[in-house]
Chains A and B, each alone.
Chain A
Amino acid sequence: MNRKLQFRVSFSALAMLLVAAIFLAACGAPAAPPPQAQVIKETVVVPQTVVAQQTVVAEKTVVVPQTVVAQQTVVVEPTAAPNPEAVIPNVEPNAEVTLWTFWLSPTFDDYIKSTIARFQKAYPGVKVNWEDHQATFQDDLKNAFAAGKAPDVINLSVSEGWVSDYATKGLLLPLDDKVSQDVKDLYFPGLWNEQLVDGKNYQFPWYQGLSVELVNMKIYSDTAGLKLEDFPKTVDGLPALCKTIKEKTGTLCDIRLTTNDLLSQMVYEGGVKVISEDGKTFTFDSPEGVAWLQMYVDMVKAGTVDKSVLVTDQDRVGLDLFSSGNAAFYQTGPNLIREVRANNPGLYGYLAAVPAPVGKSGVLGKGLMSLSVKNDTKFPNASLALAQFFTNPQSMLEFSKQVAIYPSTPKSYEDPFFAAKPIAIEDSAKPIAKDIISKYADIVPTIPHKADVNDIVLQAVQAALFNNVPAQQALTDAVTKANALLAQ
């Protein structure tokens, strides 16, 4: 039975009972004041979703003595308030939606399952099928889209550019006109406006990471004699630091280029304008671009960086080098400190964390993870509700208590959990997290043929780093190739 019908039946039942009550009251002692008005008031304010409960209560009124009907009816049980977390209207009845997460099982099984259980209380009747995909996530997702079996709600990486990849192909649901302003206002504006495609947002910002420099004090301080407070505040301070560490300790710097998205790294680190305003010409061979690349070329020539880490596309390679105790510092998220602790407990006691150096753009970073809804879902409102629910302030707060991730919702930071003085190193960024996350912004413009252009840039960067091609020439050649793609 749908809600409208339920309401009508319930309303009719209440009306009949009311008439009966009036009739009974009229037959009783005339001294009693007419109490029915209170009953009507209660009936009118009953929200549709809890009408059935009101009906039951009202039925009780017929069993009370006629003379005291009025006094009895005012003890109507309080109307259950709508679930404050149910902010998406018109969720399809009996909807069944599939959620795919990226590398969260088995560590966070309990959290995911309990959040789904809370969701089902907020949106009764919606069935959620959860699957976690790991190393093959991207392949599985592409195959699922190709087969028309893509999940309704998808955990996509903002930092890796997955949202714009799928949105550009028309596979994701634009959110701006699907959710109310109140819902949008739950998130940091910088995060809501990430990965825009043609000015439209396709993701609910989910958990965020903070980039910190994990420092091995045994090498950095004890052997190299450096002070933590002197750690470079900007990226251009890294070459000198690496030179000092190499000279004093013989160890190489554990620095990784974002090989699958070098254009973004150029933008954030080098302040490089990678494409013209009209989007018709690539411009990353500018003096800023050359200076950015030259910095890395100089470090490779000086032999101060581990080259295999520098050009790997796997964060694990750099993290493993740091965890093995053979690097002075490594930039990562506090959430991965648990990996260091698990793999090398002896190193944990020597760990310190400092804010990651900022690039020339001055922007601290961009979002990490999001939840998107596929464009052709059968249950758009239920899917939106699920994606929004997982990213709402309460869910985000609960997740933050499980692991060192940071909410995309300002309200979550009001909890005392974030104000507590950090004890473990994993929590060292907690008190400053809100300030940093609130400044995150996606400053990379929409780039056509992004994967191909990034591959061209990667070849150019490798040619400059390892094949003695001058940085200017390497980037100019890359711009020529990339512009040829635009002309196709």
Chain B
Amino acid sequence: MTKKLNLTPYLFLAPALLVIGVFILYPIFAVVYYSFTDFNIVTPPVWTGLKNYTQLFQDDVFWLALRNSFIYLLVTPILIILCILLAIAVNRKLPGINAFRAIYYVPVISGSIAVGYAWRMLFDTNGLINGVLLSTGLLQEPIQWLAEPALTLPLAMSLTIWLGLGFYMMIFLAGLQNIPEELYDAALIDGCNAFQKHWNVSLPGLRPQIVFVAVISSLAAIEVFNEIYTLTGGLGGILNSGVTMVFYLWKQAFRLQHAGYASALAIVLLVITLLFSVFNIRSLERGSEQD
């Protein structure tokens, strides 16, 4: 007896499959193909085999970009610490506290490009930061912040932290409000001071949120682009000081028109991100099991 093929489920799935196929699967397969070609976007690609990959591992800027991307991951622990402190600070029943929470959230809803340009104006040679430092006598000569290679990454990282502060704070705030008040009462009865109370109660209680923030903020950090682009005016900083993996990928594809080489970079980035995601998800699962 033959089973009759029921097409109805496939018809329901078709729109989603079509979208996934066109906008996710096709681009991924196309990038894999282009990574084995010499492709300048405007003329048809020419098959070059593994040339892009061999060139990539001999490319000093690629290793610099990889190093910078990993340095950029420092934003994750800084964000976690700052956001937890901020969440604890705003997790009080004080008059006007909702206004503070909203103010901290404003950078999240501001466009990162617009914020980047605002940041750039702040740190301009004739910008507000130098103005304040000069007028208070802390500086005799203005600092050319944006032209100092050593400052490119720290400035971009501080921008990323500022942009993400409100969002991650909200996640920790929600986590804090889920911790039963009795646990804090018990800690007080046990003689804990304010620091010990949060160390022994708040932090363990926020474990799921910490893992979640660590996963998403580290993935965002490794794929950073907007902050670098706006702060360095599209050049990646003096002496490539701000070049990260995604920025280098963009530069190769759209500035130098080496889309084939950029595709090889994208594949390497994909593998790194995948490994990172697997590691993070394993950590998340391990954390859940322990809980």
Which residues on A are within 8 Å of B, measured CB to CB? 138-139, 142-143, 145-146, 166, 169-171, 252, 259, 303, 306-308, 310-314, 317, 321, 324, 326, 451-452, 455, 458-459, 462-463, 465-467
Contact = CB atoms under 8 A, between A and B. Distances in A.
Nearest to A142: B41
Nearest to B51: A488
A462 B148 CA distance: 11
Contact of A259 (B144, B235, B239): B235
Contacts of B41: 142-143, 145-146
A307 B235 CA distance: 14
B239 A326 contact: no
Contacts of B149: 466-467
Contacts of A459: 239-240
Contacts of B238: 307, 311, 462, 465-466
A96 B159 CA distance: 48
Interface string B244-258: 000000000011110
B125 interface: yes
B178 interface: no
Interface residues on B, range: 20 to 34
Given A169-B40, A306-B125, A313 B233 contact: yes
A146 B240 contact: no
A311 B257 contact: no
B127 to A, nearest CB: 10
Given A307-B147, A462-B239, A466-B238, A317 B125 contact: no
A308 B144 contact: yes
B144 A314 contact: no
A145 B141 CA distance: 49
B235 A324 contact: no
Nearest to A307: B147
B42 A451 contact: no
Contacts, number: 69
B224 interface: no
Given A313-B233, A452-B256, A466-B149, A308 B42 contact: no
A307 B233 CA distance: 13
A331 B153 CA distance: 31
Interface in B240-279: 240, 254-257
Interface in B83-135: 124-126
A16 B40 CA distance: 63
Given A169-B43, A306-B125, A308-B147, A451 B255 contact: yes
B151 to A, nearest CB: 11
Nearest to A170: B43
A459 B251 CA distance: 14
Contacts of B154: none
B237 to A, nearest CB: 9
Please provide the 5 A-B residue pairs with the shortest distance between their CB atoms, ordered closest to farther: A307-B147, A145-B42, A308-B147, A308-B146, A326-B126
B208 interface: no
A466 B239 contact: yes
Given A312-B233, A459-B239, A459-B240, A321 B42 contact: no
Contacts of B126: 321, 324, 326
Contacts of A252: 125
Contact of B147 (A166, A169, A311): A311
29 contacts: A138-B254, A142-B42, A142-B254, A145-B41, A166-B42, A169-B42, A169-B43, A170-B43, A171-B42, A171-B43, A306-B147, A307-B144, A307-B147, A308-B124, A311-B235, A312-B233, A312-B235, A313-B234, A313-B235, A314-B233, A451-B255, A455-B255, A455-B256, A462-B238, A465-B238, A466-B147, A466-B239, A467-B149, A467-B239
A390 B277 CA distance: 55
Given A311-B147, A451-B255, A146 B42 contact: yes
A195 B235 CA distance: 25
B140 to A, nearest CB: 11
Point out which of A142, A166, A170 has the most chain B C-beta atoms below 10 A from its C-beta. A142
Nearest to B42: A145
Nearest to B43: A169
B230 to A, nearest CB: 11
Given A169-B42, A308-B147, A314 B124 contact: no
A171 B41 CA distance: 12
Contacts of B42: 142, 145-146, 166, 169, 171
A317 B255 CA distance: 19
A311 B41 CA distance: 27
A462 B257 CA distance: 22
B239 A451 contact: no
Nearest to B235: A313
A365 B265 CA distance: 39
Given A169-B43, A306-B125, 10 more contacts: A139-B254, A143-B41, A145-B42, A303-B141, A311-B147, A311-B238, A313-B233, A314-B233, A451-B255, A467-B149
A169 B40 CA distance: 10
Point out which of A252, A311, A326, A452 has the most chain B C-beta atoms below 10 A from its C-beta. A311
A451 B255 CA distance: 8
Contacts of B257: 142, 451
Nearest to A311: B238
A142 B125 CA distance: 35
B277 to A, nearest CB: 29
A459 B124 CA distance: 22
Given A312-B233, A314-B233, A324-B126, A463 B239 contact: yes
Contacts of A463: 239
Contacts of A303: 141
Contacts of A317: 233
Contacts of A145: 41-42
